[in-house]
Structure formats: C-alpha cells, structure tokens
Structure 1
Amino acid sequence: MATRQIAIGGGTNNNQIDLLDVLALVILPISWALQLNVFTWQINVFGGYDFNQALWTIGGVAISPALLITLAAVAWVVVTNLLNSETEHGQEEMAAIGTALALPILYVFVPAVADLVNYHDITKLAALMYVSAATMYVSYRS
C-alpha cells in the first residue's frame, strides 16, 4: 500500500514521503497550473478575486498569488527535506531540484522562458508535470 511509504515528521529515512510535505505536494500543481493559465480560479464574493491577478508589479513583471504559492510549496519541500537530509545527492538530482526551483521564477522574469513554456499546450503540461514531479521526487528521496 502507498500509505506505508508515508512518514510523520522530518525523519531521515529515505524513500518516504513526509506527512508534512503532503499539503505542499497537493497545492503545488494547482498553483503552478494557475500560474501557467492551464485553468483559472476566481472567488466571486466580496468584489471577486483572481489568483492570477498581480499583487505587485516589479519592473513590468506581475507577481501573483499563484506564483507566490508555487514558490512557497517548492521551498517548503526543499527546505524540510534537503536541509535535514543525510543523503548525498548527485549532480543530476541537484540539477533537477534546481530546475524545479528556478522554472517558476524564470517563467515570470525571463520572457524567452515564458515563450518556450507557452509555445504549445504540451509544453505547458510538460512544465507543470516537471515541477510537480521534481518536487515529489525531492520529498520521496530525501
């Protein structure tokens, strides 16, 4: 059963998903999909609110709640697993983790990355699945 692989707390056992990471792992694909405009989610009471609406604009770049939630979810998993891990990670693993952290930021701040991700629906889906899978891998492996 899959539930046997879930551990409570920040234990040092490898190949288990910490229960502390489950919420972040559920929220991450939703918020990243919102940022990529795979779907939209709005609250229609009290004047309405769109999670892709800009909170701040920095140098012409819109910072939305969807981006902040995505970065917080990835950071939560990375901080709770990599910093407390006794496992040595190879260069390939660290590159995958670094790319998962960098892709949401690069998508917002580098127009060429946004154009590449937005090129086709398949590339949006690939970016969505990559960040989600890499974050899940960090949680499982560390």
Structure 2
Amino acid sequence: MSHPHNDPQYPIQKSDAQWRAELTPVQYAVARQAATERAFTGSFWNHWASGRYTCVGCGTALFDSETKFDAGCGWPSYWAAIEDGRIERVIDRSHGMTRVEVRCAACGSHLGHVFDDGPAPTGERFCINSAAIHFAPIADAPPTP
C-alpha cells in the first residue's frame, strides 16, 4: 500500500527528502510507506515504563502507558489513544484483507491497525509498530492539552 505523501489534509507537512532525512530507513518504511515490522522485533512490544508514546514523524502524543497491554501479538498494543482526534482511521484493503489502518492525524504517518479484540473498556486493540513511535518517560512526557 502506498502512502499519500504530502496530503494537504494533514496539518504537518514535510517533503519526502525531509522525511527521509529525519527518519531511519525502518522508520521511513513503516511511517511513510505503511510497512510492518516483524512481530517481537520492535523496541516497544515488551516495554512497560510509565510515559507517553509519541509519533515518530511529528512528536504528537498518541498513546499513554496506562492503556498499554500485553496482547501476545508481538507489537505494542493499547486499548485507547490519548484522544480520538489524534488518530485517523482509514480502511485498508491491502494484502487481501479488510482492516482499519491507524495514522497520526497530525502528519499522516502510518502507525499500525486497530482491531475489535481488545480488552474493556473499549474492546479495541491498537496494534502499533515500534518504528512508528517514540517513548517519553512520564517526567519528560509532553502534557496533553
């Protein structure tokens, strides 16, 4: 699935050259080309510190460690985003499946997918690529406006 580079709907705009300069090759492949890292290989699948997970592309706070849970799938999983407006949901029909892709609503970076097999209270499982996020420990976490 190709990614809509420079889609004007996203408030944060960068050229392809800027994205490539700011991201590692793996981060670029995931965030800008909707690649998926292999299960159990990312830096955050088994990471349990308190803090916020932010978009690798623009720094927007997306997920809080309070909503992270062990889904056993090999990717960081959360039962909710910090708030709905920070995540965009897009129907993804790639690879012969129909899934719901999640992107950063600020810059359009691909984060992963959301499934309806998560725990209460939402019943959702945001299955996120480690390469699409950074972690800010609670003391350094950006405040939620």
Scaled by the length of structure 1, the TM-score of the pair is: 0.27
Q: Which has the higher helix share?
A: 1
Greater gyration radius: 1
Q: Which has the higher strand share?
A: 2
Scaled by the length of structure 2, the TM-score of the pair is: 0.27
